[in-house]
Structure 1
Amino acid sequence: MLFPITIYRACLWLPARLRGERWHPRVNTALGLLLYGLFGLPLSILLSLEILIVINTQLMAQPMDDDEATQKPLSSTSYSPTHHWPGRTLEEWPTDLQVTLPGYVDDATPPPDPTLPRDQFYDQLLASYSPTILHKMGHEPLWDIPTDIFFDGDTNPRNNVSNALSLGTVPAVVHGEVIAETDDAYYLAYMLYHVKDYDLPVREAISDATFHDGDNEGIQLRIDKASMQITLVETWFHNRFFLCNRTGESQGTEPIQTRALFEGGTHLVLFVQSMGHGVRCASPADFDDLASNSKILRLASDRDKLIAPGINDHTEYNIGYRLASLKPWYRLAKTHAGSGNDFTTLFEDTIVLGTDSTGKEIQIGKFFAANDFEKRAWSRPKPPWAWDDRWDDIPVALWHFHPALAFNSHTGEAYSEKYHYNAPISLIFTAEERKTVLTSLLSEHYQHAPQRLARKTNPVNRQPSLPPAKKPGIGVQVKRYMNYVIHSLG
């Protein structure tokens, strides 16, 4: 563990060794410090992170419980994930990106019908593209079940932990919404709210920031109108956007974490961590440990046949969840209070998105209200408009309020940014506020990209961003490595 000192001394020693007494000692020292800053310090940080990852991997390793060893679900001993072609193993990525996990039943649901009224059509979209969720279970399984933030019948999440403990269970619920429609795509969001984020006792003892009441992570995805295929997914993984698509390639500002896998044609397969609940697209490697501490959740097409999850770490392959709308979140977004236990609002603290014509600040809630949290911690539970990846070039709120622009920025694509429908913007803000908010967000965004500022037109109907002229460079490689670090330490 003394390598940082050794590297530092080596950097100071090398100029003197090469040039000897030909240079003044101060020159040798200056060159040594320059060498350390350019090479020694980055190498020290890199080695420190790798050692930290190894230590964390050992801490996070969770042996099976005694009863898990004897449980042996029907499919666990002989199951090997396959394509929809029988008998073929997932040793490599399937060329059609299709997998069939245990518990899957083809309900032969007809495709969404765009001739229906908008609300009905959007409900069909949400069901047809609802994710298959591979959720790992930790030592507090009650906190590893995604549920309705209003499961207890009120809109005050401060009492969710105590109410869940009193009930001893929570229903499996995913919050879903068609958040936007443009000329060429539909944008869908699926949120996984957990009553509590927790960690291993040793990590909780080290830092209060490793656990907190309430947790909200999830995804936004783009469905191409021409093909009706999911072309891009962005997941929220511990304050970082993880991207996946069908090719594994991108020309934008953010790296692609992995290719996407699907079940039943349209159902994206997600992997969700236990304890911290980071969400990402699943990969074939995630299926190697499928029989241990896993629950597979799918949308229940028939509520009367919904199978509730066991509040345990036993593997279950056929859990059903139901969908809840995000519209109540939008309608309550401007009802908030300061951090504290004496309120009943859904949200605490605020994000300022500009001022209206009277000079009054336009504010929306920043955090989900809670009792137990570290006030200054980055990990406090947030609604999707408050998700802010400090490594990308879009400001807070733009990702959820202007998904087409965010996806264009991240991938270098030129998707249409002309909206026919935008749920959060239309339900949260008045007509006057909408233009103010979007103008403010775009102005902040283009401060980071002034070369594109001249192309900004009406905020709602502006032309799509152009893809970069050259392939991403070292910045994307650094982000790719940081994704690896965040994923390993999550």
Structure 2
Amino acid sequence: MFTRSTVAAAATAALAAVGLAVPSPAAAAPSRAQLALRWAPIHHQDVDATGTHALGGRADYITRVDFDGDLNGRNNWDNAGQSGASLAAHAYYSVAETSSHWYITYLFFHPRDWVDHPFFETEHENDGEGIMLAVERDGSEYGVLRGAVSVAHTNFYSFTPAGSSWTSGRESVDGTLTFAASPHDSFSHPVTAQEPQGHGLKAHPQYAINGDGVIYYPSTVAETPSSGNDRDVRYQLVDIFAAGGLWAERNNTGLFANLGTFAGDTSGGCGTGTFGCGTNSANAPWGWDDGDDLPGRGEIATNPAKLSAEYFAIPGGVSRTYTYNPYSGAAAALEAAAKTAPRVVD
């Protein structure tokens, strides 16, 4: 009696006997969490320890929005310096998919956007800036990274890896996205960097560590820097779409003042000794906006295929039909709210 397994074994032996390659089983597609971890940046965070608002450099550490144990955005400035607050390293991510590309957005959060002088610049509670990576689904397990758009305050900057087939579109490519090996896995990762205080984010070395700084490596664990000059700190990724995650909390008025804008006030000394303190002045990815560019508010995360097609010239184009994009289910509401939401100046 022949079973399915004995027939398969006989077929494999027959192929091998005549010198033909035996087909390998198709590899399982990586999960979205695996995709996000594979492409997550090695992240250079410049640190400034000067002034009381710096908290000895800790105000430049990346962390979770609930680092203080709650989802109240209006006490984050106040609690950043408390002994019980955790500044363990985390970054948020979301993944959107089409048949041609994966789009992975990363958010790096700081409890304070701060300054150490009294002139002209304001500071504010909460700070959310990040980067969107466009990965072509070329048949390999994790695809190939083609382009990136980063957020630095109220401006977007575009980057491509060396040798990318993507070139300047409506917006000029601003530089090269470099890669580096991680000591914590076998992959080469893109390298990003944030400035201290205001935390604008670009591809390294357009921002770079100048003196003290922390180098964060993507991982499945969250470490806290030993000091403001720690060059090997692992950060843990948090899915924006997870149950109870940022997207699920988007209507939580304690955390968000309005569409994609973190709630923040002037308590706890924000603005003391400086030009001033802004309120409700930081954004989640679905609130990121470059007012001088064509894409709408939040589309860097909510409609990254459209944004990519506008920022870059892409051979063969990109699919605009999403096979996975939880943002798109609320697209109409997001678009309507974006038209009336106040412009946030980060």
Q: TM-score range by the shorter chain?
A: 0.7 to 0.9
Corresponding residue to 1:136 among 46, 60, 70? 46
Q: CA–CA distance in 1 between the matches of 2:207 and 2:333?
A: 42
Q: In structure 2, what is the Cα distance between the partners aligned to 1:330 and 1:234?
A: 21
The TM-score normalised by the length of structure 2 is: 0.74
2:231 counterpart of 1:317 = yes
How far has the Cα of 1:258 moved from its partner? 0.9
Q: How far apart are residue 284 of structure 1 and its match?
A: 8.2
Distance 1:386 1:124, change over 3 A: same
* Aligned: 1:236 with 2:147: no
The 5 A counterparts of 1:274-293 are: 274-283=196-205, 286=208, 289=210, 292-293=211-212
Instruction: Mark the CA change 1:438 to 1:153 in structure 2 (over 3 Å): closer, same or farther.
Output: closer
Spell out, residue by residue over 1:70-97, the C-alpha distance to the aligned partner (whole angstroms, 9 max, x if none). Answer: xxxxxxxxxxxxxxxxxxxxxxxxxxxx
The change in CA–CA distance for 1:319 and 1:406 in structure 2 (over 3 A counts) is same
Residue 367 of structure 1 pairs with residue 261 of structure 2: yes
CA contact (8 A) 1:238 1:379 kept: no
Displacement of 1:379 after TM fit? Answer: 8.7
After superposition, where does 1:81-480 map in structure 2 within 5 Å? 115=28, 121-139=31-49, 140=54, 141-167=57-83, 170-178=87-95, 180-201=96-117, 205-207=118-120, 209-226=121-138, 228-247=143-162, 250-264=167-181, 265-283=187-205, 286=208, 289=210, 292-301=211-220, 303=221, 307-310=223-226, 312-313=227-228, 315-327=229-241, 328-336=245-253, 345-348=254-257, 350=258, 365-372=259-266, 380-413=281-314, 414-426=317-329, 429=330, 434=331, 436-437=332-333
Give distance in 2, aligned partners of 1:242 and 1:284.
11
In 1: Cα distance, 2:27 partner to 2:105 partner: 19
Listed as ranges, the gaps of 5+ residues in structure 1 are 1-112, 337-344, 351-364, 445-489
Q: Secondary structure at the match of 1:329?
A: coil
| Higher RCO structure (Cα 8 Å, ≥6 apart) | 2
> 1:129 touches 1:268 (CA, 8 Å); kept in 2?
yes
Which has the greater radius of gyration? 1
Q: Which runs of 5+ in 2 are unaligned?
A: 1-25, 182-186, 340-345
Deviant stretches of 4+, over 4 Å: 373-379, 437-441
| Alignment RMSD (CA, Å) | 2.9
Secondary structure of the residue that 2:327 maps to in structure 1? helix
Displacement of 1:169 after TM fit?
5.0
C-alpha spacing 1:286/1:143, structure 2 compared with 1 (3 Å): closer
- Distance across 2 between alignment mates of 1:285 and 1:197: 17
Cα distance change, pair 158–182 in 1 and its aligned pair in 2 (3 A): same
What TM-score do the two structures reach when normalised by structure 1?
0.54
1 CA distance for matches of 2:122 and 2:27?
A: 45
Query: AA paired with 2:156?
Result: F
Give the count of matched residue pairs.
286
* Distance in 2, Cα, partners of 1:240 & 1:284: 14
Q: Secondary structure at the match of 2:146?
A: strand
**C-alpha contact (below 8 Å) 2:264/2:279 kept by paired residues:** no
